[in-house]
């Protein structure tokens, strides 16, 4: 039997919560003791379904880091199920668009492509997501970043995907 991880890769439990690290509006970690400018729900206290609902809402609103965090928690909650790769892909898409807004071109196109590949493995309409359209949008944004047609940064002209 596989031993349950107890570090950062383990499933969320009441005994192992994420520390409350101060973050800026784009989710960048700030120095300990700095003002926290990003309030996030306690994703570990939510069900997979609620975290997915929040991930969709945050993505639609352009809050990519929050969407990433919601789906990363859902991915950990769904570990060892057929849903795990779906949530991992969604989490990677959130992280990819986060990197785009933070100015990290390589992180953006790499994670957008990885996430698109995972999400595209699920049928359109899976858990209410048009997986084909979302994957196509992520690949298009990744290509635009890599070609220089979409310039990463806080002012990047990124319209939140329709999900």
The predicted pLDDT at position 13 comes to: 60
Residue 131 maps to a domain: yes
Residue 163 maps to a domain: no
How crowded is residue 157: how many other Cβ atoms within 10 Å of its Cβ?
8
The predicted pLDDT at position 7 comes to: 53
pTM, two decimals, is 0.85
Total domains, the chain: 1
CATH of the domain at 69: 1.10.3450.10
Residue 9 maps to a domain: no
The predicted pLDDT at position 62 comes to: 93
Mean pLDDT by 10 residues, the chain (163 residues): 53 58 87 90 95 97 95 97 97 97 96 98 96 97 97 89 82
155: left (phi over 0), alpha (psi -120 to 50) or beta: alpha
Residue 155 maps to a domain: no
The predicted pLDDT at position 99 comes to: 96
Instruction: Measure the CA–CA gap between 163 and 55, rounded to whole angstroms.
Output: 10
Residue 32 maps to a domain: no
Residue 128 maps to a domain: yes
The predicted pLDDT at position 139 comes to: 98
The predicted pLDDT at position 11 comes to: 57
The predicted pLDDT at position 47 comes to: 97
DSSP, collapsed to helix, strand or coil, labels residue 105 as helix
Range of the domain at 57: 46-147
Nearest residue to 135 (alpha-carbon basis) of 89, 99, 91, 66: 89
Residue 51 maps to a domain: yes
- Quick one: tokens of 83? 């849903």
Residue 153 maps to a domain: no
The predicted pLDDT at position 18 comes to: 58
Spell out the long-range contacts of 56-60 with Cβ–Cβ below 8 A and sequence spacing 24 or more.
56/128, 56/129, 56/163, 58/94, 59/93, 59/94, 59/97, 59/160, 59/161, 59/163, 60/160, 60/161, 60/162, 60/163
């Amino acid at each position: 039997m596989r031993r349950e991880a107890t570090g950062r890769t383990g499933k969320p439990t009441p005994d192992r919560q994420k520390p409350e690290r101060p973050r800026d509006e784009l989710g960048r970690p700030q120095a300990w003791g700095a003002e926290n400018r990003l309030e996030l729900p306690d994703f570990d206290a939510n069900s997979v379904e609620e975290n997915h609902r929040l991930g969709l809402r945050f993505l639609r609103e352009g809050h990519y880091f929050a969407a990433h965090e919601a789906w990363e928690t859902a991915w950990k909650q769904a570990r060892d199920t057929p849903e795990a790769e779906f949530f991992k892909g969604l989490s990677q898409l959130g992280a990819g668009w986060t990197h785009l807004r933070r100015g990290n071109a390589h992180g953006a196109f790499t994670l957008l492509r990885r996430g698109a590949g995972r999400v595209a493995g699920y049928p359109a309409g899976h858990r209410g997501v048009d997986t084909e359209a979302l994957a196509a949008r992520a690949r298009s944004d990744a290509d635009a970043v890599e070609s220089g047609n979409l310039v990463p940064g806080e002012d990047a002209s990124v319209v939140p995907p329709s999900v």
